[in-house]
């Protein structure tokens, strides 16, 4: 009898364990970015650093002034889109105006990038490739220090990688939900920093090529073009919000400084030094 009860108890434990494992399986892919976030938060010594880069102070000052009621692009000059500034101001309001608040916000974006890259590779190449890709992302030059720097470049790239993942899910599942979310993520990436805008035509071209490749199974051209039109419309609406936030008269702040930078003496000195270092 004892052996029978023990066998039944062991079987019940194994059944409960299998049930828990099955219930947790959909969330296993979150373990990699969560582990990265916790390890960076605990072991990377960004809490004690006064300044990682001069841009940290610029971004913090813009968010702090916005929190105090000064309007962005009117009372606050900025040559970058507004999304990160508004997010940072919101974080300051919730958790206090401290530089580490912004660094943890960027760390959250970095964890999003690790997850999106890992998930893209996992879904289309397999678990081994996903783990290798996540490791390579983390080991990229300067990635760790940029993950805790209060700057806008890495958050913009994180949203762009998320847009790529969502576009890939649309290619596989054909759900317009993924299509719209991909365009939204790409638009938010550009609203963080404009330099990711070159990825938008690439994603849109992939959608058009997909429709052209499926033309034999589609009866009309509008069926072929509809996914690209949906993606482009959502992306355009997000970009138009930039004009609404900045105001038509202030949009030049986002464009003119970057176009004029090549004519500055500092830029010429930098390019000359880069050319010398490259040849050496």
Return d(Cα 18, Cα 12) in angstroms, integer. 10
Q: What is the mean pLDDT of residues 259-276?
A: 66
- Out of 2-6, 12-16, 64-68, pick the least confident: 2-6
Place 116 in a pLDDT band, splitting at 50, 70 and 90: very high
Query: Is pLDDT above 90 for 24?
Result: no
Residue 245's pLDDT is what? 85
Which residues share a beta bridge with 72?
A: 76
Burial of 16 (0-12, 13-18, 19+ CB in 10 A): exposed
Residue 263 pLDDT > 70 = no
More confident residue, 2 or 53: 53
Question: pLDDT category, 223, cuts 50, 70, 90?
Answer: confident
- Helix and strand counts by DSSP (H, E) for the chain: 13, 0
How far apart CA 59 and CA 62 sit, in angstroms, is 5
**What is the model's pLDDT at position 30?**
87
pLDDT of 280 > 80? The answer is no
- For 117-162, write each residue's pLDDT tens digit: 999 999 999 999 999 999 999 999 999 999 999 999 999 999 999 9
User: What pLDDT is recorded for position 270?
Assistant: 65
Q: Which residue has the higher pLDDT, 274 or 168?
A: 168
pLDDT of residue 219: 61
């Amino acid at each position: 009898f004892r052996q029978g009860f023990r066998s039944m108890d062991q079987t019940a434990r194994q059944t409960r364990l299998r049930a828990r494992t099955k219930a947790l399986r959909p969330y296993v892919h979150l373990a990699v970015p969560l582990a990265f976030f916790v390890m960076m938060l605990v072991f990377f010594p960004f809490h004690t650093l006064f300044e990682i880069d001069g841009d940290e102070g610029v971004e913090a000052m813009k968010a702090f002034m916005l929190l105090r009621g000064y309007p962005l692009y009117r009372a606050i000059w900025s040559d970058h889109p507004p999304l990160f500034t508004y997010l940072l101001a919101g974080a300051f309001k919730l958790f206090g105006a401290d530089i580490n608040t912004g660094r943890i916000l960027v760390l959250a974006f970095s964890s999003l990038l690790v997850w999106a890259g890992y998930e893209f590779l996992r879904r289309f190449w397999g678990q081994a490739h996903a783990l290798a890709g996540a490791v390579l992302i983390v080991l990229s030059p300067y990635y760790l220090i940029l993950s805790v720097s209060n700057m806008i470049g890495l958050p913009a790239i994180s949203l762009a990688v998320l847009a790529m993942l969502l576009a890939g899910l649309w290619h596989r599942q054909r759900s317009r939900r993924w299509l719209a979310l991909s365009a939204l993520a790409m638009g938010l990436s550009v609203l963080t920093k404009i330099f990711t805008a070159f990825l938008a035509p690439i994603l849109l071209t992939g959608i058009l090529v997909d429709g052209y490749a499926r033309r034999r199974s589609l009866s009309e051209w509008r069926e072929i073009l509809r996914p690209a039109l949906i993606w482009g419309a959502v992306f355009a609406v997000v970009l138009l919000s930039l004009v609404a936030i900045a105001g038509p008269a202030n949009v030049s702040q986002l464009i003119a400084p970057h176009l004029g930078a090549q004519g500055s003496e500092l830029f010429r000195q930098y390019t000359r030094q880069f050319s010398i270092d490259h040849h050496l």
